[in-house]
Structures are given as structure tokens and as C-alpha cells.
Structure 1
Amino acid sequence: MPNAAIKDFAQRCPIVVTGRHLPAPQTYSLPIKDRLGATLAMRHLIGLGHRRIAFIAGSENHPDALERLAGYREALQEARISFEPPLVAHGDWQERGGLIATTQLLESGRAFTAVFCVNDQTAYGAYLALFR
């Protein structure tokens, strides 16, 4: 939602925004630690024994996507697992993007044992691709 629309809505009702700082009356910000969240999710997968983890990322230049990619890479580095660019596919933060990106990974023939997705909508699309 554009900042202007949020500010307009906040004039009628207090609003909480996530993932961005928007200084405006009756607008409260809840920051998200994208990099840390990604690192923790990856540590969990690595802790389960996964070593070839695909990442369905968001758009290539989105700040949140870049932070989550950094967290993905950080966890791999901590575990001394080599970063493999072909295991990263970019989606569009939506179910369709997750489905397409996961299908591309499967068709590439690259082996992976787990998939880490940039968000829930992307994960649902990935699930659909894996189910097929």
C-alpha cells in the first residue's frame, strides 16, 4: 500500500505498518528483522541435516529480499556450506511466483533437500509445485 494511502487512512483510524518506518500521526511502525529471520530459518533447516537448500527469493532489487538473501548466505557460511547461485530462484512474493520458481528449480535438475521461501505466499506456490 502506498505511503500516501496509509497516511490518509491513519487520519481516520490508528494504523500499524510493518517492515517500514512511516513518520505520520496515528501511524506506528513495527520493524522486521529480515536478515535475522532468514538466518534463523536456515539454521533450523541445517540443524535438521539439510545441506542443499534452495531459496525462492523475492524480487532481485527489493530491500527485504536482499536482507533475506543475506541471511540465507550467512547461515550457509556459518555451517561451512558453499553458496550455490543456481539454488536461488527469484519469485514475485506471490503464490504464482513461488510455483514458477520452484518448477524452474526442479526442471534444472539441481538436487536439493529443502526449500526456504521468502514469504508464506511464495511457500504455498512452492508447495504446489512440489506436490505436482
Structure 2
Amino acid sequence: VVETVTWTPSLHISNTVCRHIPTRGFLLTTRKPVLVERCRFEKTGMPAILVEDDASGWYESGVVRNMTISRNTFIQCGEAVIQIVPHAPRPEGEVHRNITITGNTFDLKNGTAIRTRHTGSVKAEKNTFTKDGKKIPEEKAVDIR
């Protein structure tokens, strides 16, 4: 996979609504700073936010080096709601890093709110998780590896 790293954008998405999308809300991969804040995601069929680095199928290059997902609301989105999973044949070590997921509200359709693989320096804090109107502890809703 080849990427022109000098042409990657930074991204700030705020106050946006993604509702009833059969696929994902956002697919985000850029090495410049990313901020997703105060957005509302309702019933996306797949993850509301997907971060990959596909070096084996679609060949969508891009690593994440600085991402913040803050003060968003996720309602009944596909599992995992936020998914950070590089899609490479054999990733060695971390692919993405420096990701903060804080102050979000998750009303879960399934069981997992956040799933990461091959990602370093991930902070998930001050988030609220519910399913069927009942609060879920973070250790049951978050799968960070």
C-alpha cells in the first residue's frame, strides 16, 4: 500500500446527524488530527465510526496518529459502535495510536461499544453505556487490545 503522506487532511466533524444509514456512519483514516464531537449517530447498520487501514482488500491506506471522539451520542448502531481494526494480513505491533474516546453516550443494540485491535495509546473514559434501558459497566462494553 502506498500513501502520499503530505496530502493527508486533518478533519473536524461536529454537530452532525447520521441516521438510518445501512452501512457505517464515518470511515476515517488520516494521520493528521481528527476530532469528531457533538454528533448523533442513530441506527447505522455497521459501526458508526470505523477506522481501518486496509492493506489486503480495498487498499485504503492511512494510519491514525491523533483522533478524539468526544461528546457524541450513539443510538442502536451496529456492533461494534466504534471499531478501530486494521485490516492487514499480519500486522506487527500497533498500526493506529493516540486515540481518545471520552464523554460519549452509547445506547447499545448489541454488546460492544468500542473494539480496537493493533492500536496503541487508546483512552476510553467518562463514557456512558446502556442496553435495554439498563446501565452496562465499561468492562463489558469495551474491547481494547
* TM-score, normalised via structure 2 length: 0.24
Answer 1 or 2: which has greater strand percent.
2
Say which one has the larger Rg.
1
Instruction: Select the structure with the greater relative contact order (CA < 8 A; seq sep ≥ 6).
Output: 1
* TM-score, normalised via structure 1 length: 0.25
Answer 1 or 2: which has greater helix percent.
1
